[in-house]
A and B are shown apart, each in its own frame.
Chain A
Amino acid sequence: MLVVPVMVHRQGISRGMEAANSKTVIRHAPTLASPGPVERVVAVGVLVLLAAIAGAVWRASFHLNPAVELASTLQLVPGARPAVVEPGWLGTVPTGLAAMGAVERFDSESLSEKIDGKAELYVEAGFASLESRRLSVDSNPALWFEALLFTMQTPRAAYAVYSAQRRPGAANLPSGTGEGYGSGNGLFLTQGRQYVEIIAADPAAMTAANAYLADLRARLPIEAAALGERDLFPPDLVDASSCTLIPENAFGCDRLANVMTAVMRLPGGTCTVFVSLRDSPAEARELAGAYLAFLVTNGGQAVADADPPQVDLYGFRDAVFAEGRIVGGVHEVADGALATDAARRLRTYLQELPALAAEGSTHDAR
């Protein structure tokens, strides 16, 4: 509001003009007159009121009332499709298919409007954007599928969400770029920073879905994901397709990040084993010790004379050790003997790896 300053200014000019018109005018340039006491009080009062209003609005802006929706952002009926800025990877509709709608695009703010509670899985791993589109077979519209293309921030992030959701025992896709698998009605692929799902409404649509994925696969960028941890598991005991990358908060421990798990098959049974590559042997030792302490803090009991060290947490064993720059172990194994066997086999395999042998450290977490 500029009324008050203008009022004072004009009043000053007005007085100057009156002085110029009088018979005893003193010829000098008009000057701004000083406001009187009442004017000062009123002016200050108005300014204080304006400042108070501004302050109240500023303070209220920090108060989030989730029930209040601004007209520009509200979706009381969620699911309204966001505006499509560009076709993206799914803009092409191959011959023989018909688009059932436009490409939908979601960011980290709107991702939950597409996949609800599963959005956190992607956001926590490093999500960038999602495109999705439904297509049907031209000759039979009842045969349709939906393509969901998640772009993650890194190839490792794409692998993380791919591996976290991998269906056990599913058949691998034909060799080619990226890696993936198929199920009765779905195709799943990770390639570069992209993670792709193609979900068919009917298995009869899979022929079209496979062709669509092949076309997409040929167009998506190829960017290798550094997944060297997968080579740290004994290949005769661990199926590489069982590997899962946990970017952070592995096993509920916020210090355990970048952990690769896998399923190890032994005569005594199967169990989850894990490795995490650190920057130095000292860091690996420190982290292994920290994870053991975390388990104890959360109600676990250290198992006496266990080698590698183990903690029993409500009937389930975790074994943890450091071997060179690697933190390794087993997770949530009910059978103590199996936990010991798996942990020792893993550690022995790591000790025999040429690179780790050259680093020379064999200290474990004890």
Chain B
Amino acid sequence: MTPGDSTGSAMDRREFTRRAVCAGAGVAVASWLGLRFHRESPEATTGAASPDFTFGDYRTQGTEGRTSVVTGGDRAGAVQRALELIGGMQAFVRPGERVLIKVNAAFATPPIVGATTHPDALTAVIAACRAAGAREVLVTDNPINDPAMCFRLTGIAAAAERAGARVVVPATRMFRPFTLAGSTLLNQWPVLAAPLEGIDRVIGLAPVKDHHRSGASMSLKNWYGLLGGRRNVFHQDVHALISDLAAMVRPTLVILDGTETMMRNGPTGGSTEDLKPTRTVVVSSDPVAADALGVTLLDRRAEDLAYLVQAAARGAGRLDVDRMDVKRAALA
């Protein structure tokens, strides 16, 4: 038999075909493995395939634009009075509803530093929710530092539990992808979804702080703690991001605790000398208006905050607080 003999070629062709099929199968498997690692969605890290999350509308009908400012007194007293001025918590929370309080527990720092929600303010808000008949009150945040340490060292966990609320410490399985229509930043981005499931009302509770990147950290910046992933990618577009957050969340209420305002070196602060005793609490169903009022505690104007101007321009709230019916009171 010589090369080229027809009988030998047929056998060679069969062998060739067999081997070609094996090679093709190998290529197909390699391709599948490559595509498996190159998914566009965060399924690989959120566990089983997660449908996109949608934020609810947590606003209470008939409470649009209700805003109050209280000066003086102690923190808890100011929060209570500010709520009373706009109808009390019962105007916003119905009996039997489940409430989520989104605190700022970003850093594992003590309350004295003023970088996180103060436990006394949280206690007052939880008490108001329970008095209004809330069936359950949850407290959550996705901190910058270790979550468990943050909730513990800030005093938030202890205050929440004493007041009868439940702290939800974020875990990987609690995140789901979210897309904000028209946003170039929040596209299939993981958000802290699980604590929001079954929730009727959302209340933001944040301190008033200087911020090195955005100029200020108040109620709109507080929603940053609902995002997962490597959020530092947003630092270069922080104003656009915060404007997106304003469109993402339609809360029941936001409460700005300006009892002590972090005037410099934010968002972490560190020294009590960064704090100014501004003794002011702002409560509003309009987060943009709340921030427009809160920024004055930093000796700045709303127009100085690009994210605030952007948020107002896209209809997330009002900047013209001078034309709003803001209820005011001064405590001794």
Contacts and interface: CB of A to CB of B under 8 A. Distances in A.
B270 A199 contact: yes
Contacts, number: 187
B226 to A, nearest CB: 12
9 contacts: A7-B16, A19-B1, A67-B188, A77-B142, A80-B146, A117-B238, A118-B266, A199-B109, A201-B110
Interface stretch (A107-115, A309-317, A326-334, A347-355): A107-115
A89 to B, nearest CB: 19
Contacts of B211: 117
Given A3-B19, A46-B24, A77-B147, A57 B268 contact: no
Interface residues of A, number: 65
Contacts of B325: none
Of B170, B266, B271, which is in contact with the most chain A CB atoms at under 10 Å from its CB? B271
Contacts of A22: 1-2
Interface string B106-132: 111110110000000000000000000
Contacts of A74: 45, 229-230
Interface of A: 1, 3-4, 7, 11, 14-15, 18-19, 21-22, 24, 33, 36, 38-39, 42, 46, 49-50, 53, 57, 60, 65-71, 74-81, 101, 112-121, 134, 146, 165, 167, 169-170, 183-186, 188, 197, 199-202
Contacts of B147: 77, 79
B16 A185 contact: no
Nearest to A60: B38
Q: Give 8 closest A-B pairs by Cβ, nearest first.
A: A201-B110, A79-B146, A117-B213, A112-B232, A183-B271, A3-B23, A186-B271, A167-B273
Interface string B30-47: 110010001111101110
Given A53-B34, A117-B213, A79 B149 contact: yes
B212 A121 contact: yes
B27 A117 contact: no
Interface stretch (B71-79, B83-91, B171-179, B198-206): B171-179
A74 B43 CA distance: 12
Contact of B113 (A15, A50, A81, A185): A185
B3 interface: yes
B231 interface: yes
Given A18-B8, A77-B172, A116 B144 contact: yes
Contact of A19 (B3, B45, B110): B3
Given A19-B1, A66-B230, A71-B44, A185 B143 contact: no
B214 A7 contact: no
B195 interface: no
B145 A77 contact: no
Contact of B268 (A4, A50, A118, A184): A118
B3 A33 contact: yes
Contact of B144 (A18, A81, A113, A183): A113
B274 interface: yes
A114 B12 CA distance: 65
B267 A118 contact: yes
Contacts of B228: 76-78
Contact of A202 (B42, B110, B229): B110
B233 interface: yes
Nearest to A39: B16
A343 B1 CA distance: 104
A165 B13 CA distance: 78
A18 B45 contact: no
B143 A78 contact: yes
B12 A14 contact: yes
Contact of B177 (A42, A67, A118): A67
Contacts of A77: 142, 147, 170-172, 228
A18 B27 CA distance: 31
Contacts of B145: 78-79, 113-114
Of A18, A24, A66, A202, which is in contact with the most chain B CB atoms at under 10 Å from its CB? A66
Given A67-B187, A79-B143, A202-B110, A119 B232 contact: yes
A104 B153 CA distance: 16
A67 B229 contact: yes
Contact of A76 (B15, B38, B229, B233): B229
A184 B20 contact: no
Contacts of A71: 44-45
Contacts of A112: 144, 232, 235
Interface string B163-187: 0000000111001010000000001
Given A76-B42, A113-B144, 18 more contacts: A1-B26, A11-B16, A18-B1, A19-B1, A38-B13, A46-B20, A67-B41, A71-B45, A76-B170, A78-B230, A116-B232, A118-B266, A120-B212, A146-B109, A186-B272, A197-B270, A201-B112, A202-B110
